Structure 1
């Protein structure tokens, strides 16, 4: 949520960086500038994957010994990343009575973006040796901010039964509370907004939900659905033995409940391969490669052979690409969508607060729309692009993800909404200018009387050239006062005078009719 009430408040990430010793978030150093950080081949391959304008967005501008302007500073990366300390593992009990699964926390990060009030929580987890159905159930149930309802036993639907964040020594730091029906019902009733599960709330501290009464400068609200976007890297023993139904359940894991019967007549099922599969690296032969990509917009999943060294190589293999290139690809598409939703939300709020009968409300609305339009222009020229990479498979996956999220349609909708509001403000300003011009014209017309009257003084109608200065000043001030009163009266009655002029100028009516109509108009104006 925006900081401050005006002026030039500091960015959110700077406020988070000012935290004390109890602040678990620390900003990551720029790998391109910090000499003590390693820069390996995987970082290089990540960088060269993207086109130059995408590189400027992600990594900042390149350094040069020759600058166009000495006062022009080099642009930093538009992404500011903070990493959380103190959380080492996640213990999940997917269903009541199931054996808990413990996952290693690789990274927990907050990503902020310049010019846009958007932040991403990025949680990276890993685990080995899971049965296929458990992996699918885990992917389906984890990553939900709040329950969408409760079953007959009072457990949150679709959520993991219990989630616990653990410290390095095994201490439980936070526990999920999706079964606390009263908490979510009362929060939604009081704030007209869904709450958030306790374990996610703990993870995001010191950020607090905006509608809540809790104190905190860094406040947020979830911009869209409760189901967090999902990326998954799965190494299976034999990808060729996976049945089509299992491929379907895995590829549609964000929307298809593991216990639900497969909807065989659903277009997502019948056209699954053409809609959501990218099989450039799938040969279905012993020689391989046997790597499949699934992209539904909400989920991005890579499945490959666990026995192929190249697949799970952390430095040069598909796993290295997954953790570097593909995560950025997925992030950019969701950043586009989140930013557009923020712009749309701002416009809806501005229109909701508009009262056309209050000049202050109209002025505030104008300022908000112009500020939104300016921010949208910066977003368009800095962040919005259709070409991400010259590598065909990266570009194809980027286009697939963006299309499934509907980013192009959403962009056009937001652009049209901004254009409509801008045109409304322009037409309103033109209408006010036209009204002002008409009134000035009327005043000027009727001021001709005063001009002629004062001109008569210059014709020596009153021979007071030799009169004492006090007499001449008296005549001057009397004439000025009468002229000013006439002009003030003309301004006050400018609309009525304009209507009267329109009536008199209507040559399609007789003079008698025009005079009669003029009398009615004038009588109506007096009342």
Structure 2
């Protein structure tokens, strides 16, 4: 496929993309089903681990810059505590005063070389950093990969947005190439050596895996990037295992600067906002009817006006993607410290990180609930016990998630506040949260009602046994009146009398417990004055005789 562009195609002076890949962590059998601090498994590897923890900016005050300050004050206090902690140090237990986030950075990968099509030359992207985000007490990690390049044609930038964030191919082209995937992706070291290569075209790596495990495989270069973590069901060993949470397209953020962003057409903006494949600027990626409300749904135009060159910054959001477009000659847009480029890499990155973390965690809760209910067998006592323990654990974890991680708003700054609402609106996290909350509460209510039912049954049995015991106590009370004087008999006679009374008593109590339901019905019938004695007798006879059901 040739590049769908012309010589007059707009040029992206600076292109920057951040991929966010939420994953579910599945620890090994030795660790059990859930632990709180997964990052400790990486720390235990020492120097042989390619991941190193990133120290935050709140160490040496001399290194704390205005950008860090602006980032911090962007968020509301409870979000600040979530992101940065409270300055009590990062050692010890992760409690209220410490940030529940740990960030580890991948060492050794400096560039990414991509061949989008066999007829196009390779593009080399500089890798800014590759980070892995851990969250205390939640089985979710997020891989963040940031890379950039300069002076790309707009169609080539659209190809990068459309194809690079693919965990595995959705299908294969007639020539064997992975559908909607690059032909080749390589991770490069600082010296230019190839460290890992994609295998989107290797169909036999994907089809048998799904057939055997009912779970998708991931491309070889992504599998290499996450080591020493290992894909669940794969033959590779790792300190922990991971699996997909959503589908194969990774959420992304993108920053594009142009000489004149007003030269972009409605079709260009639609392709950037909805992350579609490249196409001619004078066409739309979808029908006109489908895009009738495009500007209202996907564009944030507070600083955009086609008739006014002073308003040249536009924000695009579809939930899956967050894209910033602006003018390359404006320092406010391109400054990496005080400008929108710096805000894109820090404030808006964190806003997107929070939103996608929310959605991934809520989907994890749904998966936990579905797995728990699918394994429930009410005829198996062990299955019922496991179900109760699992639902209690999910309930406790959900409560901690709600009070530690869940935010409806992250900032009072108008622009950040509006964009977060726009992002979460497209992700539909509020509705998903309500669905999960109702499901968790329904499960917990079922357990409570089941416990009450069991307690009520126990009370019924005890009531029946107590009633029968009252009769037996009154009937044998004459023994305490010394009518029969057994004090002079030998000890063995007294023991014989004791056993003769004990054994029938045990049998009677066991029989009463076994027939407690029918005896309870008889006691209720006996207390009902509206029933005749014959009707009460028939209820009593049900203890030994059950009437046949009419067919």
TM-score (norm 1): 0.92
> Structure 1, residues 54-109: CA drift from partner, whole Å, max 9, x if none?
00000012449xxxxxx997732111000011111111111222111110000011
Please state whether the residue corresponding to 1:140 is helix, strand or coil: helix
CA shift, 1:148, in A, is 0.3
Q: 1:264 aligns with which of 257, 263, 287?
A: 287
CA contact (8 A) 2:51 2:105 kept: yes
Structure 2 matches for 1:510-525, cutoff 5 A? 510-524=532-546
Partner of 1:379: 401
User: In the superposition, relative to structure 1, how do residues 318 and 261 fare at CA in structure 2: closer, same or farther (>3 Å)?
Assistant: closer
The answer to whether 1:100 aligns with 2:122 is: yes
Q: Within 1, Cα distance between the matches of 2:231 and 2:487?
A: 81
Partner of 1:68: none
User: In the superposition, relative to structure 1, how do residues 143 and 37 fare at CA in structure 2: closer, same or farther (>3 Å)?
Assistant: farther
The answer to whether 1:227 aligns with 2:249 is: yes
Q: What is the root-mean-square deviation in Å for CA atoms of aligned residues? A: 2.4
CA contact (8 A) 1:447 1:486 kept: no
User: In the superposition, relative to structure 1, how do residues 74 and 116 fare at CA in structure 2: closer, same or farther (>3 Å)?
Assistant: closer
Partner of 2:267: 245
Please state whether the residue corresponding to 1:214 is helix, strand or coil: coil
The answer to whether 1:370 aligns with 2:395 is: no
Structure 2: tracts of 5 or more residues without a match: 1-24
CA shift, 1:6, in A, is 4.6
Partner of 1:38: 63
CA shift, 1:13, in A, is 0.6
CA contact (8 A) 1:25 1:85 kept: yes
> Structure 1, residues 442-471: CA drift from partner, whole Å, max 9, x if none?
111111122113321122222446666665
Q: 1:47 aligns with which of 72, 80, 91?
A: 72
Partner of 2:471: 449
Please state whether the residue corresponding to 2:185 is helix, strand or coil: strand
CA shift, 1:250, in A, is 1.3
The answer to whether 1:11 aligns with 2:37 is: yes
CA contact (8 A) 1:116 1:339 kept: yes
CA shift, 1:281, in A, is 1.4
Q: 1:402 aligns with which of 424, 428, 431?
A: 424
Q: Within 2, Cα distance between the matches of 1:10 and 1:430?
A: 32
Structure 2 matches for 1:469-480, cutoff 5 A? 475-480=497-502
Aligned residues: 517
TM-score (norm 2): 0.89
Partner of 1:61: 86
Q: Within 2, Cα distance between the matches of 1:244 and 1:226?
A: 28
Q: Within 2, Cα distance between the matches of 1:464 and 1:97?
A: 111
Q: 1:334 aligns with which of 353, 356, 363?
A: 356
Q: 1:136 aligns with which of 151, 158, 161?
A: 158
User: In the superposition, relative to structure 1, how do residues 508 and 169 fare at CA in structure 2: closer, same or farther (>3 Å)?
Assistant: same
CA contact (8 A) 1:233 1:301 kept: yes
Q: Within 2, Cα distance between the matches of 1:333 and 1:165?
A: 28
CA shift, 1:18, in A, is 1.8
CA contact (8 A) 1:140 1:258 kept: no
Structure 1: tracts of 5 or more residues without a match: 65-70
CA shift, 1:518, in A, is 3.3
Q: Within 1, Cα distance between the matches of 2:422 and 2:213?
A: 37
